[in-house]
Structure formats: structure tokens, C-alpha cells
């Protein structure tokens, strides 16, 4: 006998717009959601996300695994829709799908970015991609994406995950950021 998430997923992913409501319902099946509710209410105010349920990482990984196993052909469409809806769990799920698909994950991720993204989201998705065994892109690839201040800062964060000598200039020349951003830069340059 499965748990609540297994039972929920067994009902199948609907087509069209209903799929997004279905996935939001899956986030609520996590065991930690009610425990996290007061924390997530505070985080939601600061994040700019449409919602933040507080679903734990193991539950998010199970949902991503289920999608990749049973609905791989729909994942690219779902990634676009999840990122656009911009719930905290949506961008987490999109990041997990991007990291574990065969496409170029760095290009897919960078193409989704908006003019303003929370630092936590950028690091979370970039670390997922790195954790999936993907190398940090080449300097020439990253330079193409450093077209404005925000994108250059994001490129710097990606470089910081695996600092290489040829990426040093991209890290040093990134526009100034907040306190956490500057600590990440300092640590990357010290590596």
C-alpha cells in the first residue's frame, strides 16, 4: 500500500491546464507541508513567488522522478509552464526536471531566467544541474549569457560552483551584488 503521494500520482497526470493544478495538489501530499506552513508564509512575502507550500525535497524528487519516468515527453512543456507560474515548488520541480533531462540543462535554465530571480532559486537550480553530473559550461558559452548585469551575476554564481582559472575574469567582472552574493564571489576567487 502506497502513501498519499503514491495514491495521488496513480490517478495520472491530466492534460492541458489541469496538469498544473494536479502538480500543485501533489506538492500538498508531502509529509512536511503543515509543519512548514508558518515558515513558508514569511518566506513567501520576501520571495516574489506566487506561492510557497513548503514541500520537502524528498517529495519534490519523487514527483520529478514520476514525471521523468511516466511523462518524459511532456516535461519540456511542463518546465515552461512551471517557471511561468512561479510557485516556489514550481521552480524547484522545473530545476529537477532540467537537471535530469538529456537536453543542454545550462542553456535551458539560462533561457528561462527573468529580469529578477531570487538568489536562492538560481543557486538551487544550478546546484541541481551540477549534482546531476554536468560540468560547468565553457567560458565562451557563459560569456554569451552575460549580456546584462542580472545575467552576468547569474553566470558568476554558476562559475562559483566549480571555479576554474579561465572563469576568473567572469567572476571578477560581475556587477556588484548583495552581501550573500559578494561572499559567494569572495569564496570563489579564493578557491
Q: What is the reported pLDDT for 46?
A: 58
Q: Could you tell me if 64 and 96 are in contact, meaning their C-beta atoms sit under 8 angstroms apart? A: yes
Tens digit of each residue's pLDDT (9 = 90 or more) over 148-190: 999 999 999 999 999 999 999 999 999 999 999 999 999 999 9
Q: What is the reported pLDDT for 6?
A: 94
Asked if pLDDT for residue 67 goes beyond 60, the answer is yes
Q: What is the reported pLDDT for 174?
A: 97
Phi, then psi, of 16 in degrees rounded to 5: 65, -150
Which whole number is the average pLDDT over 52-81? 95
Tens digit of each residue's pLDDT (9 = 90 or more) over 81-128: 999 999 999 999 999 999 999 989 999 999 999 888 888 999 999 999
Q: What is the reported pLDDT for 53?
A: 86
Judged by DSSP in three states, 175 sits in: coil
| Burial class of 32 by CB neighbour count within 10 A (0 to 12, 13 to 18, 19+) | middle
Burial state string for 95-130 with b = 16 or more CB within 10 A and e = fewer than 16:
bbbbbbbeeebbebbbebbeeebeeebbbbbbebbb
Q: What is the reported pLDDT for 183?
A: 97
Contacts of 6 (CB under 8 A, 6+ apart): none
Return d(Cα 182, Cα 49) in angstroms, integer: 24
Tens digit of each residue's pLDDT (9 = 90 or more) over 4-62: 999 999 999 999 999 999 999 999 986 554 555 555 454 545 567 888 888 999 999 99
Q: What is the reported pLDDT for 191?
A: 86
Q: What is the reported pLDDT for 1?
A: 46
Q: What is the reported pLDDT for 143?
A: 95
Q: What is the reported pLDDT for 104?
A: 93
Crossing angle of helices 179-190 and 149-160, rounded to 10°:
50
Amino acid at each position: 500500500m502506497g502513501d498519499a503521494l503514491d495514491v495521488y500520482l496513480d490517478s495520472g497526470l491530466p492534460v492541458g491546464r489541469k496538469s498544473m493544478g494536479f502538480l500543485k495538489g501533489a506538492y500538498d501530499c508531502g509529509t512536511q507541508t503543515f509543519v512548514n506552513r508558518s515558515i513558508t508564509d514569511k518566506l513567501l512575502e520576501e520571495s516574489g513567488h506566487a506561492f510557497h507550500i513548503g514541500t520537502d525535497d524528498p517529495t519534490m524528487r519523487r514527483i520529478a522522478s514520476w514525471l521523468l519516468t511516466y511523462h518524459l515527453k511532456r516535461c519540456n512543456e511542463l518546465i515552461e509552464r512551471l517557471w511561468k507560474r512561479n510557485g516556489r515548488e514550481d521552480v524547484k520541480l522545473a530545476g529537477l526536471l532540467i537537471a535530469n533531462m538529456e537536453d543542454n540543462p545550462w542553456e535551458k535554465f539560462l533561457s528561462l531566467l527573468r529580469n529578477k530571480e531570487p538568489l536562492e532559486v538560481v543557486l538551487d537550480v544550478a546546484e541541481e544541474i551540477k549534482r546531476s553530473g554536468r560540468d560547468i559550461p565553457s567560458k565562451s558559452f557563459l560569456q554569451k549569457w552575460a549580456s546584462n548585469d542580472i545575467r552576468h551575476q547569474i553566470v558568476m554564481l554558476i562559475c562559483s560552483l566549480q571555479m576554474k582559472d579561465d572563469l576568473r575574469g567572469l567572476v571578477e567582472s560581475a556587477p556588484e551584488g548583495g552581501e550573500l552574493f559578494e561572499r559567494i564571489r569572495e569564496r570563489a576567487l579564493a578557491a
